[in-house]
Chains A and B, each alone.
Chain A
Amino acid sequence: MLNPHPDLTASVLIGLGWYYLILFGMNLLWTFRSYKHDGEFRNGVPKASFWAVVTAVLLMTSAYHFTYPPDGFLIFMPLWFKNFFNAYFSNPVLYFFLSVGGLVFMIAAREWWIKPTVAWVLLNLSLLFMGLSLTDYDFRQIVGKPDNVPIVAMLFIVAFFTWIYFKRAVDNDRRMDEGRPLFEQEDNEKVLVWPDLVYTELICMVVVTAVLIFWGIALQAPLEEPASSMKTPNPSKAPWYFLGLQEMLVYFDPWLAGVVLPSIILGGLMAVPYIDFNKLGNGYYSFKQRSFAVTTFLFGFLPLWVALIVLGTFLRGPNWNFFGIYEYWDVHKVEAATNKNLSQFFWENLGGIPKGSGALDILLRESPGILLVLGYFFALPPLLGLTVLRTYFARMGVIRFLVFSNLILWMAILPIKMLLRWSFSLKYIVGIPEYFFNI
């Protein structure tokens, strides 16, 4: 019988042939650039020769895809790797730590990875990983969905602009250390808007239009079956840009994940210019002068927003279970969840949970969690202001500091709740389902 879900088919190979052809073109251009700028190895051979070999290999790879039939095809993601990846990399804990670790590495090793050659190697490796992964049926099912294509593109685009930021920031930081003018201040003559800006704008518009038309022809907008309130799809997902919020539903109830936290994200964004008292770094790229502000923003944008969207889109399948990138979305996958509330942990050794459904009984039952939350939001800010963040407190004044510290604490509750869930199977810190008040 024919395999209904083959990893490799003729059309997949042709698609990948085009994919490697594009990689070939990119690396061909890079070879020329390398020949011009990169110099030679010690024995006099130009460093570009390495890239020439890479380019040649890519061209042969592409040709091989175009000409060879799917049977006995040799270039694919090996099964042992897929099994290894599915077994050890398929859980939200590791995913979160990798994304935070990636950010820490990005900041710590910024002087290394902003080098064009390093960045180019990293880009090539990630594209090769993606090309090889595309030989997997389940990977293609998710990544290849028309609505998901922009999210894959967004990953590379965000990485690219983050690279530009660090490149220019490191350059400016060096310049300031050496007392040289900023990059933005060199050759900064005034030019006429016509032609210097209006032509750039025109070219941008033409390019964007061309991309949209090409994209519109290449990928058909999704249209599923007619709406039916009887058939609930599994998983039911919000639009992709809200999937970070939907992912928060794993850790918080809807009133927090869907209403309070989004409001605080937006309010916090609006408050940024009023709580950032640092006058440096206005209108130019720099990291050293604004390391706290930039790190906080990158933490909020990369691991807590972009990475959660990617997680919600690509890795959450039926019943919102976590699936590896090469894993079949099995509706029957069962994940044991025996989470316990803080009150259960607390009263367990003190003779059992207080019973009774009166307001006072509930307050007594949940008092440990309530005190903890009150302490977190009301006692911690002044404490921080008097100790670790004393300089901030002195420069910001009372109101600014309270807003600032509360926003930071709100931002931290998601990772904190994640860690508590993963390490103690904690369900709610405060659990009052009687009044839908669960934290």
Chain B
Amino acid sequence: MFRHTPFRYATLALLAALAVLYTLNAEYFGLELVAEIAVLAILVLALDMVAGFGGMVSLCHGALMGIGAYAYALLTTAGGLTAPVGMLGAIAITAAFAWVIGAICSRSHGIYFIMATLAMGQMAYSYVFEAPIFGGDDGLSGISRLDLSLIGLDLNDGRSFAFFCLVMLGLAYGFSALVLSSGLGRSLSGVMHSEQRMRALGACVWRVKADMFGVSGGIAGLAGVLAAQHVMFVSPGLLAWTVSGEALVVVILGGLGTLVGPLVGAVAFIMLKHEISDMTSYWHLVVGLILIAVVMSGANGIFGWIESQVERWRPRRAAMTDEEIRKREVLSDA
């Protein structure tokens, strides 16, 4: 179950302060990075909600993000809706898609769940790639950003847009934390521990899973909307399974089931990728080696590792930390 510890609050505060400071001082490309990190961070938040707290390791979150991006693009260009309505509409559409996917896949577990979500994602990808209204692989352009001139902000300015993305990330984080500590979040934790027990308690297991998947999809949809506004262009590549795979890597790098960890993972991943791809075109090699090293170290990602070090220094509150509980859960979920 999700809990905010003082250490997590401290990390969040530190991340927020760094983000604001960096955004205030960054050059153009730095601002691009901030927006890119924020979009990825929102996506991995969504993924961590279902993977880290519900054992639903999804390989369709990239596709969900893509659906959000395309929905926003179509609603605001061909649909003629205004940006705020388009954003809400896109999020709702993505949440609906995600709910259906969650409901359909709710009976599968482990690798079968991964594959079932992969199949769903790939179907969406193939459809978008080939259907003419989505512009095929040439994508759709002419997407505009949200107009915030009423409050004196021009989002076409890189710095304003970076801040806007950060605010959205903050909202998404708050919302995820809220949902995870609500009744739904608690039920989901229960389902991850033991579906049978939850059934015996009278919970409708598939509904719990589908509802959480829907919420997570809505957040992935927000990531998609921001990605569309950031690039002002959408292409089918957003939906590819490798995007979902990368998101999963980020969640693991950061720390599965910690919600804060994936944020750290997103920052680390984008920074690393850009630093390394500046130096060599073989950046896959370096990222792959780092991933292997992190996983093999046995720690729960970067944040999980730091957290466990910090926990070690603190007097133990309970017999078992969240971390240890989670590890057992994952082991038993084979």
Do the two chains belong together in a single complex?
Answer: no
Q: Which residues of B contact A (CB under 8 A)?
A: none
Q: Which residues of A contact B (CB under 8 A)?
A: none
